[in-house]
Amino acid sequence: MAFSVVMPALEMAQETGKLIAWRKKEGDKVTKGEPLLEIETDKAVMEVEAPADGILAGITGSVGADIPVGQTIAWIVAPGEKPPAEKESAAAAPAARGKTESHSAPVVPASPQPTAPTGARISPKARRLAKELGVDIATVRGSGPGGEILASDIQAATAAPTGTAAPAKSGNLEVPTTLGRLMAERTTQSWKTVPHFFVTREIEGTALNAYRDKYLAEIERTHSIRITHTDLLVALTSRLLLKHPRLNSSFTAEGIRFHDQVNMGVAIAVNDGVVAAVIANANTASLAEIAKQRRDVAERARAGKLRPADIADATFTISNLGMYHVDQFTAIITPPQAAILAVGGIADRVVAVEGKPTVLPMMTITLSSDHRAVDGARAAMFLDDLAEAIRDPNQLLG
């Protein structure tokens, strides 16, 4: 039986994906679970795994093309079997869908030719982008199913030449990458729609430094991984979050959704922006396991090889700029998460101890919270517990 390979939906509200590369060619044998192709979404470049064993055939997805989610781009068939003809694809897709991985989106019929925009549909993302860029949607032809106007159509409209020459402007223009556009859109949307508020604590880092020094060599020897302050903060924070469920929740139209596990997002700088890679089930992972997950996803992020699971389902995020010698900052929440923790560097400062000036290693952390899910008292209590854990990591990590 033939299995359809479709452009998957790897993100909420994703409309299209750009096909970057095929890892296999027509006629190659493929194994379920091995990397089959690479696609670029609004968030990152990711590998997509083969949904079944068989022979790759009937490739229709062209490298470099923006393809609607759900569209069949190839087939995996048994040896000697031919891929379904185009007219059979729509009928065969439901059966194939039941056999594919959960990340494969439903197959949709091939899109008709773009139609005039009069009365045509427009996606929410495209409508928002059109408003931000000042594009008149009545002048845009939709390339999506049924002539629907997609975000890519709006972007193309802004780049299209017009009958009137644009006024000359001085300076250089840097065209944002896909990740750059995403960061601009999501941070703007979050800042406009999420009621942020901030709580800050200054905490002594002596014990945190000592704990890292104590286990650094041992974990490096036994697991070939070097633990960082970020790893320690992920371990401590994730264990505390289940005690403070509002901080590990999502605000939805139906109410506040609480998460049973902590999937910790860690902000990672890449060439063209920042991605929040996810350390799954961080609240039950050992320090060494956290460090290994963090290193692996960071390497894939910087190489542009993130997998869908690497960026999915984060319930809380930590952004640490201490390595850049930043003392303090505030971070913008990533919806639908309810909070994000901004971490500054540990540096010697003069503080009062029993009324006398003393030099101690200090750090400043700032919690940004969605006030719809987390009130000030809950945020303060969480930071108080986190401060205690940083001053004595042994109480949570042993």
pLDDT digits 0-9 by tens, 313-323: 899 999 999 99
**Could you say which of 103, 196, 223, 371 is catalytic?**
371
Assess whether 375 carries a catalytic annotation: yes
Report pTM.
0.69
pLDDT at residue 277 tops 50: yes
Instruction: Considering the candidates 28, 375, 384, 392, report the single residue annotated as catalytic.
Output: 375
**Tokens 């780049």 sit on residue:** 159
For the chain, which domains are there? 3-97 (2.40.50.100), 112-155 (4.10.320), 188-397 (3.30.559.10)
CA distance 130 to 265: 30
Confidence of residue 30 (pLDDT cuts 50, 70, 90): very high
- 249-251 and 35-40 strand pairing: unpaired
Residue 165 has pLDDT above 50, yes or no: no
Give the tens place of pLDDT for each residue, 358-396.
999 999 999 999 999 999 999 999 999 999 999 999 999
The mean of the pLDDT values for the chain is 84
Residues 31-85: tens digit of each pLDDT = 998 989 988 766 667 788 899 999 999 999 988 888 888 899 999 999 989 988 7
Percent of the chain's residues with pLDDT above 70? 84
Q: What is the mean pLDDT of residues 211-221?
A: 94
Averaged pLDDT for residues 267-288 = 91
Q: Give the pLDDT score at 65.
A: 87
Q: Which range in 104-108, 129-133, 209-213 is most confidently predicted, on average pLDDT?
A: 209-213
Angle at 154 between CA 148 and CA 158, to 5 degrees: 155
Q: What is the pLDDT of residue 262?
A: 97
Question: DSSP character for 121?
Answer: -
Q: Is the peptide bond before 68 cis (omega within 30 degrees of 0)?
A: no
- Predicted confidence band at 141 (pLDDT cuts at 50, 70, 90)? confident
Which of 379 and 152 is assigned the larger pLDDT?
379
Residue entry with tokens 């729509």: 90
